[in-house]
Chains A and B, each alone.
Chain A
Amino acid sequence: MATSTQPTPRLRLGEWLDERLGLKGISYPVPEHANSLPYVLGGITFTGFVILFVTGIYLAQFYHPEVADAHQSVIYIIAGVPLGDLVRSVHFWTAQIVTVTVLLHMLRVLFTGSYKRPREINWFVGLGLLAITLGFVFSGSVLKFDQEGLEAFQHNKEAANVIGAMGAWFSAEFSRSVPLLMRLFNGHITILPMIFGLLIAVHIFLIKQHGISPKVTPDATTHPTAGEGESDFGFHLRRMFGFGLVVFALALTLSLIFPAPLGQPGVAGAEVTKPWWMFIWLFPAEAAWGARALVIVPAVLGVLLALVPFVDRSPYLSPARRKGLLIVAAILLIAIVVSGVYAALQPVAAHLE
């Protein structure tokens, strides 16, 4: 007797969605190693940004970007807004986690030679995303307008003066009608997200075009891997989303135990705080060379990172075959870490002119 099998409701829903959204299109082959943690760091960063955008939209409903009201509005978010303290803390901790994952992602790409031909342009796009991430963190740290935020705000103005016309947007004189703090807020919630959206779209498109960089073996060479692999992208996305949920759980846990800090209202002209960990390594350079170090040192580092694909043009991916470049990178990394630790241990020093 012939039996007819009816598709389950779940299967029918899947077919209905696939017909309209072309979901099977994301189920293209990717190499197995693309699912390992080091190669999912970019995806984890992306899911972290999704958390930041959602929590940021909520916070923006209650934050007041006027100098006289900014700090008070943050107190209101903490003490008066439903779930405000928790959402702000998740925003804060996710920003810390994302900064770590984006830096680890960059180091992984550097270590595995994933910037090599034909992925050089995507390396530059990634550097742009790193700069945007740090821009988000910096502007976010200013917005709370406590003593630390105000000091960052004043450093921002000094650094803008150093680069003259190029720093015009960061100067108070750029707009007579909209104060700088308000413009930094606008930058934080409109300009930076827009640039981030464009760059991440290009970043993902180029990864799709070239495929994940090949697995590092002693003789592995760089080449496109699009369409190759034993795994599929749908599985990769599931793992990415899984890591995103773990990041969310981690940020929530940290938020419960260590709510996002807020200092005393800022008093201008004083320097009694230190910047957040991702900027503190610049302190010794600023002490030695003044405000111009805040521009020149990151710019030099950025140029050095941008030169990597030009300097290392061999096709080999193995770190053993790229010792020179990796030793220089390690020395720079150690110098940054040592500078940061030194600055963290030193008493607070005034740098503002």
Chain B
Amino acid sequence: MKMRFILRLMFAVAFAAVPLGAALAHGEPVIAVEPAVAAAGGQIIITGTEMEPGEVFTITLVGVAGSIPLGEATVIGEGEEGGFTVTFIIPVETVPGSYTVSAAAEDGDTTTADLTITAPSEEASAAPAAAQEPSGELHEIDRSKPVSQVIAVAIVIAVSAAAGFVLIRS
């Protein structure tokens, strides 16, 4: 009885998965952005798949501060297997942050992908003064602490260590 129930459940799950799989197989347009993290002024490659040949997609960078048009991409291919690969330069003045790359066709087909944009690299920036060169050096911050804080911390260290050793040796 229990086995029959499990078999029925398995069939139900399998049949439910069929239309879902079919929908995924025909698919909605999909884009992928490489790299997923890029510096402002840097280059990104957008690859589109599952698209109708001949369709023209408008590519836009969408962030909290507004949208930045990047350009257009025309789908090439045969039958239902269309796609595109386009390269864009992210405007150097783009504010670092999380963005969505949106590809929208005239018929309403829209697809998006995530893109993280960091500060511009020196080579990419037209204004070297504002540019930032990748560096493994430490950030210079004043880490000095008031004497009172250092004394208080030293007391906490001494008390913690002493109490710890008392407990360990008890």
- Chain B nearest CB: distance from A173 CB in Å? 6
A94-102, A109-117, A146-154, A187-195 - interface stretch: A146-154
Closest to B135 in A: A264
Closest to B156 in A: A252
A259–B143 touching, CB < 8 Å: yes
Closest to B140 in A: A264
By secondary structure, the B interface counts as: mixed
Measured between beta carbons, the chain A residues less than 8 angstroms from B135 are 147, 263-264, 272
B116–A78 touching, CB < 8 Å: no
Measured between beta carbons, the chain B residues less than 8 angstroms from A85 are 143, 145
B138–A261 touching, CB < 8 Å: yes
Which residues of B (126-170) have their CB < 8 Å from a CB of A? 132-139, 141-143, 145, 149-150, 153-154, 156-158, 160-161, 163-170
B157–A176 touching, CB < 8 Å: no
Measured between beta carbons, the chain A residues less than 8 angstroms from B134 are 147, 264, 266-267, 269-270, 272
Given contacts A153-B37, A239-B168, A245-B160, contact A172 B139 (CB under 8 A): no
Query: Does B113 sit within 8 A of A, measured CB to CB?
Result: yes
B42–A262 touching, CB < 8 Å: no
Q: In the complex the two chains form, what is the Cα distance from A269 to B143 in whole Å?
A: 30
Query: Does A229 sit within 8 A of B, measured CB to CB?
Result: no
B36–A172 touching, CB < 8 Å: yes
Q: In the complex the two chains form, what is the Cα distance from A75 to B158 in whole Å?
A: 29
Closest to A75 in B: B141
- Chain B nearest CB: distance from A25 CB in Å? 21
Q: Which of under 10, 10 to 19, 20 to 34, or 35 or more describes the interface residues of B?
A: 35 or more
Given contacts A245-B167, A263-B135, A267-B133, contact A172 B114 (CB under 8 A): yes
B10-18, B53-61, B72-80, B91-99 - interface stretch: B91-99
B39–A173 touching, CB < 8 Å: no
B116–A262 touching, CB < 8 Å: no
Query: Does A246 sit within 8 A of B, measured CB to CB?
Result: yes
A147–B136 touching, CB < 8 Å: yes
Q: In the complex the two chains form, what is the Cα distance from A172 to B141 in whole Å?
A: 32
By secondary structure, the A interface counts as: helix
Measured between beta carbons, the chain A residues less than 8 angstroms from B132 are 264-265, 267
Q: In the complex the two chains form, what is the Cα distance from A1 to B17 in whole Å?
A: 89
Q: In the complex the two chains form, what is the Cα distance from A259 to B138 in whole Å?
A: 12
Measured between beta carbons, the chain B residues less than 8 angstroms from A241 are 167
Query: Does B49 sit within 8 A of A, measured CB to CB?
Result: no
- Chain B nearest CB: distance from A275 CB in Å? 11
B163–A67 touching, CB < 8 Å: no
Closest to B31 in A: A173
Given contacts A242-B166, A245-B164, A246-B161, contact A179 B118 (CB under 8 A): no
Closest to A37 in B: B168
List, sorted by A's number, 7 A–B pairs whose CB atoms are closer than 8 Å: A146-B139, A154-B36, A179-B116, A264-B138, A267-B132, A268-B42, A269-B37
Chain A residues with a Cβ under 8 A of chain B: 66-68, 75, 78-79, 83, 85-86, 146-148, 150, 153-154, 157, 171-173, 175-176, 179-182, 235, 238-239, 241-246, 248-249, 252-253, 256, 259, 261-270, 272-274, 348, 352
Q: Lowest 5 A-B CB distances belong to which pairs?
A: A242-B167, A245-B164, A270-B134, A172-B114, A179-B98
